[in-house]
Structure 1
Amino acid sequence: MKKWLSPALLIITFLLAGIAHYAHLNPIVQFVIASISVIFVAGFLGRATESVAHYAGQRLGGFLNATFGNAAELIIAIFLIREGLYDMVKASLTGSIIGNLLLVLGASLFAGGLKFKVQNYNVSLAGLSGSLMIVAVISLFVPAVFLNTHSITATETDTLSLIVAGILILSYLAWLLFSMVTHKDYLADVTDDREQELPHEHEPAWSKGRSILYLVLATVMVALVSEWLVGTLETFTTQFGLSELFVGAFLVAIIGNAAEHSAAILLAMKNKIGASVEIAVGSSLQIALFVAPVLIFVSYFTGDTMDIVFSTIELVAIAVSVFIAKSITQDGSTNWYEGLMLLVVYIMLGVSFFLV
């Protein structure tokens, strides 16, 4: 099922994107080819990460999956910051959060539910993850409220953004300590006991050395293709009359999340819904608590701090996504209709963003 992620196909799409970029082809052609290449490279990165994770163990492996699964989005965002496209950066962060909570999780629950009537997972993990997402929503609302009510100045907003970003990073590091060290058994997947019954289903794709080599190579390739993609976004947005909000929140986010989409859905169809939930919710947590704050500091060190004040539309979209995702996942069991409800909300938000 993963032949489309073969090294040969990866190299072909990467070379085509490079040729389109350096030959200065039409920007729209460059955008299409670069987008396809990002999907293939991110998919290969996900496969390499999955193989490395096998050797690293379940909890550390889950962390690696979330981290490298977000690598494409982080790198794309850094290049957007370099171009000064802060609104698109925030839109892409918004899109990543709602995309993981609604599209990735929804598609996983729907696909898994069609094959298995009811699927169960660790309710404690889902509950704690949902509570952390609420903390992230609060951290986004506070600076926006204070700035929009003119309680603080723009300079003070930048300072508040840096302080909030630092607090969120510390919160995320504490979550890693809690979930991977002090309470790793408490948060273990309820299907872990069945791992021994399916030894061949989870065999790594490559040896440990080759997996690490492919992981490094894929990360470098993601960085290059992301830069080529970002260089075409302004032209693409202008030519088709699309808003930066829609392009960042949906097109860029979907392209960057492609690898996680396929991995989570395939795991759900293997009745590993706990792993699917961890990928979707865990990735959203990492975006909100780590990636976004890191980007605040990246912009600060480039000389022009990007504040953490999101637009009202973005805040509402994130809040709605967190509310419905927490509501659906808090009981520790899922079915296909719950997945459909998440997808319906995602489509509604997508149409609204398109019309902005």
Structure 2
Amino acid sequence: MALLESKDRELKVSVSKSFLKTVSAYANYRTGSIIFGMADDGTIVGLPDVDKDCLRVEHMVHDFIDPRPRYAIEVDSRSGTMTLTVFEGPDKPYLYEGKAYIRNDSSTTKADPLELKRLVLAGKHMSFDQLPADNQKMEFGSLKQRLHDRLGVDRFDRNTLRTLGLTDADGQLVNAAALLSDSNPFPGIDIMRFGESTSEILERARIGGCSVLDQLDRTIGIAERNYTFEKVTATTRERSERLPLDALRETLANAIAHRAWDVPATITVAMHPDRVVVTSPGSLPSGIEREAYLAGGLSVPRNPTLATVMFRLGYIELFGSGVPRIREAYPEGELPPRFDVLDASIRVTLP
């Protein structure tokens, strides 16, 4: 079976400067290979002088990629092909002629300004929630109350914020603190409750301007009002759910903890009679594949400071356990939840 181009494989008939864009992309985002002497359809055409081209590739990577990435070259003298494997590196962004590149399926494109900012942060081993917040005057009544109720913390001061990682080395409040503050400036949660069709809107709520923890609790409150009912018999009164609210709570908590907060978009919650659909901005973080995400047990938190605070407060469990816990909330034999990893968002459908 012929090799074809993919996200982690590029095929080149000959050596030209265009391959350097893909070197940048692989060093920035994920390890991949470039095979020289092979056509786009996988046909081996060979290089006229594979040893000479090997030296050319080495010199071009050294001369044009900054900083220099880690790579390996394997030459097949019989077929006249050469495989350049470029390893994802820690010193991002890796630039070709001053520009960073990203690999999309089987094509390589220039990283947009937002992606470049993310690469710069990754190179500093930082995340968006660890950057200094724009506003340094914040109140934390909601967080203070939850620390008291859930962890028995009676004293709340600057030392508490530092212990939670909500200040940086200079004592500045970070974005994670802003998200947990009473006047959180970031986009909130947009809720729409539909009738039998999406053209029939029964209720609309936009929750924002408050701690993400309050946003979570208020959203669950709306769901409880619409998806719970009581079964009454002659001797008992039982509360029942039309969908597992534990699954919704876990979905919302994970959406808040792991969404892309550098994107000015809300988390959307679409409530239908037979399902709830939660869509959070941002696809999977760099370093985690769809299969690993769905399997659970592996997590690269996009917002480690926020996620750690939510973990301490009991809103989320161990990193990487969200998807399994959502699935476990559904009894065997019932329609399972659905997880869609899209280019710019993650969508969870809860029947």
TM-score between the two structures when normalised by the length of structure 1: 0.23
> If you compute each CA radius of gyration, which structure gives the higher value, 1 or 2?
2
Which structure has the highest strand share of the two? 2
Question: Which structure is higher in RCO with an 8 Å CA cutoff and minimum separation 6?
Answer: 1
TM-score between the two structures when normalised by the length of structure 2: 0.23
